[in-house]
Amino acid sequence: MSIVFLCPTGTYASLVAANLLVGNLDLNCNSQDIYNLPYFGEFTKKPGTFLYIGAYGAGTKVYTLGTGSEAQLIIKSAYDLVKIIDINPQNLKLYDVSRFIPKFLWRLHILDNVFPFFYKKLIARWLKGKLSEIDNMLKQSMIKQVP
């Protein structure tokens, strides 16, 4: 099975959710750990870039995918694609995690061109504050096994 986390770039909220799931991050990590994640804040102008983050459990691969601002539209299209190419729908799970970064922060994305270091730090700090919410989402969606 493949689990794909979706956000506008595939390298911010989705990257954190994916790394939290595979165990590269935990709830006690700090914003610097988030900032130092491989690919954090990269490929921001290339929606469609997908990244393999790791394995979770037996045979489950975890990916991130950048979808621009149309994650919900892509979820519909992807599940329809799965049907038409005759693949078991259970083999693909898509989760939109765009909501963990508010719109005003995305609008500040212009800062990424001028002060990329500052913008990435800002997002890393924001996502640090959202870690427990993301972890709850993973547990409530029953993606993450509760010990």
Min dist CB 27 to another protein, Å, is 28
Indicate the residue among 47 and 54 with the shorter CB distance to another protein: 47
- Within 10 angstroms of residue 116's Cβ, the number of other Cβ atoms is 13
**Per-residue x/- track, 107-146, another protein (CB under 8 A):** ----------------------------------------
Q: Are 13 and 100 in contact (CB under 8 A)?
A: yes
Closest CA to 12 of 75, 92, 73, 66: 66
Distance CA 77, CA 59 (A): 24
The one segment of 20-28, 62-70, 96-104, 121-129 that binds another protein by CB under 8 A: 62-70
H/E element holding 38?
Answer: none
Q: Record the tokens describing residue 95, joined without a space.
A: 């989760």
* 28-57 binders of another protein (CB under 8 A): 46-50
Q: Record the tokens describing residue 63, joined without a space.
A: 């990916």
* 63-102 binders of another protein (CB under 8 A): 63, 65-68, 70, 72-78, 80-82, 84-85, 87, 91-92
What is the widest separation between alpha-carbon atoms in the chain? 46
Indicate the residue among 80 and 133 with the shorter CB distance to another protein: 80
Spell out the residues 6+ positions from residue 8 whose beta carbon is closer than 8 angstroms to its own.
47, 66, 67, 68, 69, 71, 98, 106
Indicate the residue among 25 and 65 with the shorter CB distance to another protein: 65
Min dist CB 61 to another protein, Å, is 8
Size of the site for another protein (CB under 8 A): 29
Q: Which residues bind another protein (CB under 8 A)?
A: 2, 4, 46-50, 61, 63, 65-68, 70, 72-78, 80-82, 84-85, 87, 91-92
